[in-house]
Amino acid sequence: MPSPSRLYWLTLGAAAALGLFCFFGALDLSGLDRTQAGLQAEYIGLWPSAAAAPGLARQFEETRRFMKRAWIDFVLLAGFGCGLVGAFTLLAVGERRQRFDLESREAENARLRDLVFDSVAEGIIITDAAGGRVVFNPSAERILGGPPQRGGTGVKGLYCADGRTPVPIDQMPLARAARGETVEAQDFCVKGKDERRVYVRMTARPLRDAQGRLSGGVTVFRDETERFEADQKIRRLSRDLGDKSSALSAATAEIEDFAQSVSHGLRAPLRAVDGFSRLLEAHLPPAKGEDRRLLSVIQVNTRRMGAVLDDLLAYVHLGRKDLEPSRVELEPLARAAFARFLAQSPKRKASLSVHELPAAWGDEAMIEQVLANLLDNALKFSAVRQESVVEVGAGDSDGQSVYYVRDNGVGFNPRYAHRLFGMFQRLHGPDEFEGTGVGLAIVARIVQRHGGRVWAESQEGRGACFYFTLPKARVS
């Protein structure tokens, strides 16, 4: 069968040829001078002259007129008929052309739909209202490990997300969709014959025809096994972390209770030792110099032990005290702490330079303790210099304010920087510099409770710089 376009041109050519034929026929019978019309005819001389045969000539003339009228009528009728035939033919060809284009577009759309249906990563299962016919794509078979089952359920071995509770047949997403219900994204577990588990997230919708009548249902699902297993792992880790955190909190509370009990329990014996040593010293004759020296050593160590117990109690109380956060201006706190130290040692030559310090958000009393401990540390280890030079400044890092306290003291070996903030950790002997080894541990604990971190940098003989971070002050 010729194509619509070819049939259109054939019809148009036939109509044009017939029109030309009718035109020249009408021209031949119109009575025009053929020479004037530009047409050469060899039969002009066939007509008889009126002089030779008047009657015969008149008869020929009447016959000629009759034939002329008949031929003109025939030409008009033929032209009219040709026009009608051409018009109807063109209408038929146009309609056929439209139908052909519509069928081509529908065929192309169907091809594209099938291509999408077969190519998407999500599984798709379609069933009719009776559940007797099931259509599925390759992804559905791949995810489920086999073809879906018939009967309106679509998926065999469907369980709830816990993997233990089977889903009733009438509550399966595809069955619900075939009844006209909608199922939003829900998680399910599919168990295969080999106990292989696949976790899927399903969505189901009813299918309706143009009149709104229920004609079936469709369910779309994707493989969520990796995400589900990752979530399960995160939950397990979170649960384990919670258990360890609870155990750590319990152990910390136990240690704090023990430290507090020891601190309180040792105070009375220490006071007794110190008191009896003073009584013995008062009753010794002046000549007993070595005995007095030994008693002095006892008194110094009892005072040092008392200082350790005080710092230990302060450390314990930090863990039990609730934070009272507010806006804290650090510059006046630093200057006040430095002034207190100088008041205790008026002969000490020391200078303090404080750069612009941004306000922080935290417990003011605790932050004041951090500055006091770091300034005390700076002045203590720079006491060997003719003049102690202390600098306090700040910077910014990752949305937090970074503060620092720098000194010109003896410094420390950077290999042991990690030991600085541990309890009772000292990088210098008690004979070189006094202290209990708890001050920096208190600094670290306060900063950590504020969500910050603390570290130190130094070179031996070149001073040290201690850094700590605090949250920025909130904008009211």
154: DSSP letter: B
pLDDT score at 467: 93
The pLDDT of residue 39 is 38
User: In this structure, what token pair is assigned to residue 235?
Assistant: 């939950």
- pLDDT tens for each residue of 373-420: 899 888 888 887 888 889 999 988 777 889 999 998 888 888 877 778
C-alpha 39 chain-centroid distance: 89
Specify which residues 199 forms β-bridges with.
189
Classify domain 123-223 at the CATH superfamily level.
PAS domain (3.30.450.20)
- As given in the structure block, the two tokens for residue 332 are 């006046």
Grouping H, G, I as helix, E, B as strand and the rest as coil, residue 238 is: helix
State residue 331's pLDDT score: 92
Question: How far is 318 from 144, CA to CA, in rounded Å?
Answer: 57
- Domain ranges in the chain with CATH number 3.30.450.20: 123-223
Domain limits, CATH 1.10.287, in the chain: 230-320
pLDDT in the model for residue 405: 92
CATH class entry, domain 230-320: mainly alpha
Q: Where in the chain is the domain with CATH 3.30.565.10?
A: 324-471
Per-residue pLDDT tens over the stretch 407-464: 988 888 888 777 788 766 666 656 566 666 778 888 888 898 888 999 988 888 888 8
CATH classification number, 324-471, choose in 3.40.50.300, 3.40.50.720, 3.30.565.10, 3.90.600.10: 3.30.565.10
Rounded to an integer, what distance in angstroms lies between the CA atom of residue 101 and that of residue 89? 18
Q: Would you give the distance in Å from CA 400 to the centre of its chain?
A: 24
Measure the CA–CA gap between 338 and 333, rounded to whole angstroms. 9
Report pLDDT for 114: 73
pTM recorded for the entire structure: 0.48
Burial of 25 (0-12, 13-18, 19+ CB in 10 A): middle
Low-confidence ranges of the chain (pLDDT < 70): 1-64, 66-76, 78-83, 85-87, 90, 93, 150-154, 193, 251-267, 270, 276, 287-288, 304-320, 423-436, 475-476
pLDDT the model gives residue 172: 86
Beta bridge mates, 220: 124, 203
